[in-house]
Each structure stands twice: as C-alpha cells, then as structure tokens.
Amino acid sequence: MNPPRIIIAAPASGHGKSTVATGLMAALAADRRVQGFKVGPDYIDPMYHTAATGRPSRNLDAWMLPPAAVQLVFARVAATADVSIIEGVMGFFDGAGSDPLAGSTAQMALLLAAPVILVVDCSHMSVSAAAVVHGFHTFMPKVNIAGVICNRVGGERHAAWLREAITQYGVPVLGCLPYLPDLTIPERHLGLLTVEERPQAVQTFLARAREAMARDVDLEAVVALAEAAPPLPLPDSAGPLAAALAAASDGVVRIGVARDEAFCFYYADNLDALRVAGAEVVWFSPLRDAVLPPGISGLYFGGGYPEIYAAALSANRPLLAAVREAHAQEMPIYAECGGLMYLTEALEDAEGQRHPMVGLVPGVCRMERRLVMGYREVRLAADGLLGAAGQRLRGHEFHYSTWQRPEGAPPAYVIEPRHPAEQPRAEGFASGYLHASYIHLHFGQDARLAAQMVARCRLWQESRGRAQRS
C-alpha cells in the first residue's frame, strides 16, 4: 500500500504550520480528494482540516495508540484519498518527554514513512534559517526532511537569500509566504476559536489561505513529494483497530451524541468505532433541544466549552430533566471533560456565578486560572461501561476547571504516577453505567472500548424491550 502523503512540521509552535497545513489542504482540494490528519490530542485543528477538505480529519497519536493502531488508522482512511496531509504537533522532535521519538511528529514520520515539509518562521532571520533547516535535516538522518516552506518572508530579496542559503544544503525551498496578518486564527483559553462558532469567518480564512498557497507555494512539488513516499509500513498482525473494524455488528443501537458549540470535541475514529460495533450515532444539542433523540439506548457527552455557554445550558431545563430521567432509567452515559462538567450539580464560571447543571455527578465544577494538561496512564477503578476493573488505558486531559471530589464518590479511573514522587490518584466519577471524567480517550487503542460500550447500550435496549412486553 502506498498512499501519497506528506507531513507539515515546524521547529516549534508558532511558526505557522497550522495555517500552512490547512491552506495546502484547501488549495489541493480544488481538484483532488484530500485527507487531513493531525498528530497528537488536538480537536480544533481537525475542524479546520474538515472545513478545508470536506472530509472528517483524523487524529494520529503515537502515545495513546500502539504503533500498529496508528498505522491502521491512517491506512484505512488514506486509502480513500488522492493525497493525505498530516499536520504535526509542537516542534518536530517534541513529544511526551525527552525522547524525540516518543509521541512526536518525528515518530509519526517514521511510523508512516512520510516525507516532511518544514515550515520555518523567517521573519527575524535570513541566512540563519539555513542553519535551522540544516540542523533538523541532519539531527536524525532516518527522518526525511524533504522540503521547506519559508513563512513570514519580508520580500523578494529576503526570499532570494533564503532560497540560496537553504538549498545549498540539499533541502528544496517549496515556497516563500509573506507575512499575512489576515491569515491568523483567533485564540482563547483552550486554543483556537472553533469552526462552528465562526463559519463565515472560517470560509473567508480558507479562501485567503487557498489563494496564498496557490500563489506562493509550488503545489505540484508538494504533491510530487507526497507521491514519492515509499510503501506504507503496515503491521504483520491485524492489530487492535483491525479487530474492531472486523467486528460483526449485532443489530443497531442508537447512541445520542451531544454536538453543538458547547460540545464539539470528538475523535472521528471514536465515532467510527462505535458505528462499527453496531451503533447509530444520533446528534442532539444540549443548548437547543428540549428532548433527547427518540429511541436512543445510550448518551455520549464529549468535550468542548460548556463554561462559555453555561447560562444557556442551565436555562435549557427540559433537556437537563431528560438527561436525569435517562439516568434514572439506568441508561448508559459516557462523558469526557466538558461532559463531566455538564453532568455535575453546578458549573461556577470565572466571575463566581453558579449555573445549575444536570446533577448526576455530585459536587460543583469551578473555572480556574490554572491549566491542567498532559497525557495520563489510567486504569479503570471498577467494572463499568468501558470494561473491567484494572483495565489499563492511555488518555489526556486539557482543562481550566476543577471538580472537587466529594468524600466517598466512586472514581472512574486511578491515574498512575509518571514520576517516583507522585502517588496514584482518583479521577472522575463512575456509578453503574455512568462514566464521567476529565480524561479523553482514543478508542483505537483497544478494540474492547467501543465494543463494550455498545454492548452495554444493547443490553439496556433489550432490558427495556422486555420490560415493555411484560
């Protein structure tokens, strides 16, 4: 298998790789099927990829997923596209620790045997950019730094210096983009503003990015590098994701998935894994809908920005009551991060105003100034919605809120210490088939996750059918 593919990376965050990657996707999608990917646990960049290509972008995370699962996630979707563009994370060699091949974009380049285009912010240097490129080109020779796009270039003379200085070290310059202040995406406390919040502005951004790439980047050279990628390495064994994809669907179970401006952080592969396991994903809006979708047998609340929409979520009392009623009937409910916040008794915003929420998770969630973020190794604290007690998983958290665990509240996970001085700690809340936590999981790491969640929903559906017949 040899799908055309290219990785867009950078020496560090802030060089413009998100803008360049999304712009390239938009430009090439004019006459090709383009598939976007994002390295690492990011939800917002893939939204822009999806808007640029018209195809759901996928996350590739070599820390949360085993290498074989990463390769299969990529291969399954890349096979349906003419070219795949993979946006890196942070600096090219930055990952989960001091190892440059642990969760980094460089590790992804090796796993996928993908050529790399390095985006370099040249706004404050000229010939020194050649030293940066040469360093990345030679630091790990087995990684293929195949080209450079110089960003924020001051003019034609600046571009000429950059091209002459860089190309003498054997790395072609594929484009020189001028400083384009209108190609910046507004940010806030959890990253970029989402696509759903500013659809018209996003379309304007994509049009300008498409124009800039077509004008200042050699698109045919980019495609040629992607098409020159060597055969994609695939695992000898089927691996966990392949097992999930091959799983037979025993009837359809409808799962209601919260999706609107407040709840928008989902891995596309998680939803696909649920579908493969026999679920029909049914969208609903906690902001706008007064009732839950009909015929559902489970609920999934992803992450997002419930703190920004706390007043509107709290004011939608009919839906709060509907979720409480579903729980009272023991319907399986899975919630991550923003979903946990929504299911608590109340959400206290940055101004100290308290907004009543669903109330299935005891305690109040408060917005703080301190960011909690990072990868987490966890184990299930008890038998429940996702599996058996002790099952080990990998996930991540990224939030500015805190939930104070009431004494005696049963946890969803035990977080394993990553340093000798740390102690295991309880995380989240689980009771019956309610599972709520700050931890985001990628279901591709273990085929049992989606399968067991759908199985629990199917059991609930069957039990309700028996109850109605009796």
**Beta-carbon neighbour count of residue 111 at 10 Å?**
18
The Cα–Cα gap between 60 and 62 comes to: 6
The Cα–Cα gap between 452 and 48 comes to: 31
Name the burial class of residue 20, with classes exposed (0-12), middle (13-18) and buried (19+) by CB atoms within 10 angstroms of its CB: buried
**197-205 contacts, C-beta under 8 A, 24 or more apart:** 197/261, 202/48, 202/51, 203/51
Task: Pick the catalytic residue from 122, 150, 176, 337.
Answer: 337
Q: Which residue has the tokens 């200085």?
A: 165
Q: Is 176 a catalytic residue?
A: no
Dihedral sign, Cα of residue 398, residue 403, residue 407, residue 412: negative
Q: What is the three-state SS of 385-443?
A: CCCCCCCEEEEEEEEEEEECCCCCCCCCEEECCCCCCCCCEEECEEECCEEEECCEECH
Assign residue 234 a region (left: φ > 0; alpha: ψ between -120 and 50; beta: otherwise).
beta
Assign residue 239 a region (left: φ > 0; alpha: ψ between -120 and 50; beta: otherwise).
left
Dihedral sign, Cα of residue 114, residue 30, residue 47, residue 238: negative
- Which residues are the active-site residues? 337
